Amino acid sequence: MRLRGLLETGRTTSAGTRIFTNRVAQAEALTASRRAVCEVAKEPGLVTDFSRPRKNVLSFYGQSGIGKSALSRHLDDLVRSGDTTEPTSPITYRHDFAKSGDRDFETLLIAIRARLADKRVPAPAFDLAFSLYWSMAHPGEALREYLQGSGAGGAASGAADLGSVMTDALSDLADAVLGASSFGVVGGATRLTTHAVRAIARSASQKKLLRDCPYLDAAMDEDDLVELLAFLPHFLAWDLSQQQSRQPDEGGRRRPLEYIIFFDTWEDVQAHSGHEGSLEDFLCRLMYLMPNCLFVVTGRERLRWADPHSAGQFLRNGPDNWPGLVSATEEPRQHMLGRLTDDDSRRLLHTAWPGKPPSGRRPHDDRGQGQWIPGIPQLRSGSV
């Protein structure tokens, strides 16, 4: 007998299977929310009007282990697995705030932008405004080196090669004026100086963009770095809206673009909240500034931006800004994530144990903690 055969004799194998039980109601909430945001995205002037309420945040909250991250991943998979007969062409980006390195607003923005680049969606207004921000925040520093050196690019790994995406975007900008401009680019296009970026913005090549995008001119004059950073998402939304409103005969896509962003482990964002300028405030502003994108937020607590006591904590607060967060019916809104429905529990157990569940380990009563299926508490014996 060959030695390997010897070793294999009597071996029992175990193979892990990933099972996800439906969560049908949540998937329906997502579908309804997608439809609502697509409708609203058609309204002319939506992204530039800061007096309209926002209805683009779908939230699921519930206790630890109830299945929020699993749900977030599942919904992302559902969107991505949609076929080409769907009326829209969705792009998704999923961001988990569990790791402290992923709680950096600047990196998150780059990741959201990189995902668009990955799908060949141009973002000229954002790239210009971001170049200015970058030249002020990291003078003389190349974006690619920064991302590699700091490990900050990890947040978007898988989305795209961040460094090259942004480098290409900045190079294009610089190329537009290089040669014609006396403003040098230090050691490569990514080391743009603030002076050079402002000159590029005011050059003939950017005239149309500056004329069409109403707040870009003001952004190019902004000296407050933090204000500029907080406002940058607007330009992403504006760039996206240009693509969404373009008809196929004008070079637009046959199926309108949809951008769905998943934010998971929101409790880690809320943990450092409570004042204007906090990460949660910045993210709340980001979602306000991007009304043509759907955000799916999962965390332990519900979102409190619409609560009366949230004034002073969030720049855009209250039910006038966020009617969906206090709505009981209209999607997108907030949903408490409970245990699986009886039907879903039964299906999960059936898939895991096509015969019958292992004996002696069934939960006994309504208070059964369901420890034999980690993370799905409160499975009731009656439902099995």
Pick between residue 68 and residue 191 the one whose CB is nearest to Mg ion: 68
Q: Which is nearer to Mg ion, 63 or 69 (CB)?
A: 69
Q: In what order do the strands lie in the sheet with 89-96?
A: 89-96, 257-264, 293-299, 57-61, 334-336
Minimum gap (Å) between residue 274 Cβ and Mg ion = 22
Whether 256 and 223 have beta carbons less than 8 Å apart is answered as: no
Which among Mg ion, ligand ADP, none contacts residue 375 (Cβ within 5 to 8 A by kind)? ligand ADP
Compute the distance between CA of residue 243 and CA of residue 356 in angstroms, rounded to an integer.
53
Identify which of 264, 236, 261, 282 has the alpha carbon closest to the alpha carbon of residue 126. 236
Burial label, 323 (beta-carbon count in 10 A; 0-12, 13-18, 19+)? middle
Among the residue ranges 67-75, 179-187, 197-205, 289-297, the one whose residues contact ligand ADP (CB under 6 A): 67-75
Stretch that binds ligand ADP, among 17-25, 95-103, 108-116, 253-261 (CB under 6 A): 17-25
Stretch of 19-27, 103-111, 325-333, 354-362 lying at the interface with ligand ADP (CB under 6 A): 19-27
| Distance, CA of 270 to CA of 263 (rounded, Å) | 12
- Shortest approach of ligand ADP to residue 77 CB, angstroms? 12
Residue 332: alpha-carbon gap to chain centroid: 15
Distance of closest approach, residue 156 Cβ to ligand ADP, in angstroms? 21
Does position 349 interact with ligand ADP (CB under 6 A)? The reply is no
Using rule CB under 5 A, residue 69 touches Mg ion: yes
Q: Which of 344, 355, 336, 354 is nearest to 379 (CA)?
A: 344
Two tokens, residue 182: 């006396």
What CA–CA distance (Å, rounded) separates 42 from 30?
A: 19
64 is a contact residue toward ligand ADP (CB under 6 A): yes
Total residues contacting ligand ADP (rule CB under 6 A)? 16
* Minimum distance from residue 151 beta carbon to ligand ADP (Å): 24
Decide: helix, strand or coil at residue 351: helix
Stretch that binds ligand ADP, among 61-69, 170-178, 271-279, 363-371 (CB under 6 A): 61-69
Please name which of 353, 337, 355, 139 lies closest in space to residue 372, comparing C-alpha atoms. 353
Least distance from ligand ADP to the Cβ atom of residue 29, Å: 15
Binding partner of residue 287 among ligand ADP, Mg ion, none, CB under 5 to 8 Å per kind?
Answer: none
For position 341 contacting Mg ion by CB under 5 A, the verdict is no
Residue numbers at the binding site for ligand ADP (CB under 6 A): 19-21, 23, 64-70, 340, 348, 374-376
